Structure 1
Amino acid sequence: MDFSDLNLVYSTDGGKIDKPKETKSAPEGDGIIRIHRETKGRKGKGVTLIKGLQLDEKALKILAKEIKKRTGTGGAVKDFVIEIQGDQREIVKVFLEKKGYKVKLAGG
């Protein structure tokens, strides 16, 4: 039996072994924030997607919290994309422009 592929999780010498966390970096973009509306795969419920922000995960979550507070809706951050419930494109566009971002409305 070959144990070379197994991950070490505990050692009697040092106790629990913590793996170093992998940090993903934001995908490269052209500096323009694109705001989409999507209903596909969501049982007809529309969401607003905000793509192209060159921020790390922590900063994205903080910005998403501000946007959710401004729109009065829920949302999430998934794969460097902020998802806001409902069609909130105009509110989000004005909010991001006030923050100094270059914003375009894209998609349906």
Structure 2
Amino acid sequence: MDLKDQLKNLFPDHTPSEDDQKKSIENDIWLQEAPIICKYEKRKGKPITILEGYTGADEDFKKLAKELKTKLSVGGSFKDDSIIIQGDYRDKIMKILQEKGFKVKRVGG
């Protein structure tokens, strides 16, 4: 039983307002027409995956970076309008982004 079910049990007559619905829409990440570029590089001998080309808000891209790092259980960062993920996870990242509705283009190697 999740929190919403518990709240419905406590307040059966309550109906969600428009503000609650707007908040759930705001949490979604903006999808773009142009593909996100997924690159592979080696820096200091270690493999990294770089995602570039997102034209939405930086906050959305940071949320996406955090979600990817959590799902893959890896380290990474958000710098200079790009997401840097430690390790070669191009295939997994591309699959996750395509499930979310993004277009992804694989570059290099």
Which of structure 1's runs of 4+ aligned residues deviate more than 3 A?
none
In the alignment, structure 1 residue 36 sits paired with structure 2 residue 33: no
Match of 1:68 in 2: 69
Larger Rg: 1
How do 1:5-44 and structure 2 match up within 5 A?
A: 31-39=34-42, 42-44=43-45
Give aligned-pair identity as a percent: 41
> Given the two structures, how large is their TM-score scaled by the length of structure 1?
0.68
> Given the two structures, how large is their TM-score scaled by the length of structure 2?
0.67
Q: Which has the higher helix share?
A: 2
Match of 2:90 in 1: 89
CA deviation after TM superposition for structure 1 residue 55, in Å:
2.1
Structure 1 residue matching 2:44: 3-state secondary structure: coil
Match of 1:57 in 2: 58
* Counterpart amino acid of residue 108 in structure 2: G
For structure 2, which runs of at least 5 residues remain unmatched after alignment? 1-31
Q: CA RMSD in A?
A: 1.5
Structure 2 residue matching 1:98: 3-state secondary structure: helix
Structure 2 residue matching 1:46: 3-state secondary structure: strand
State the distance in 2 between where 1:98 and 1:53 align.
16
For structure 1, which runs of at least 5 residues remain unmatched after alignment? 1-28
Structure 2 residue matching 1:61: 3-state secondary structure: helix
State the distance in 1 between where 2:96 and 2:33 align.
20
CA deviation after TM superposition for structure 1 residue 30, in Å:
6.8
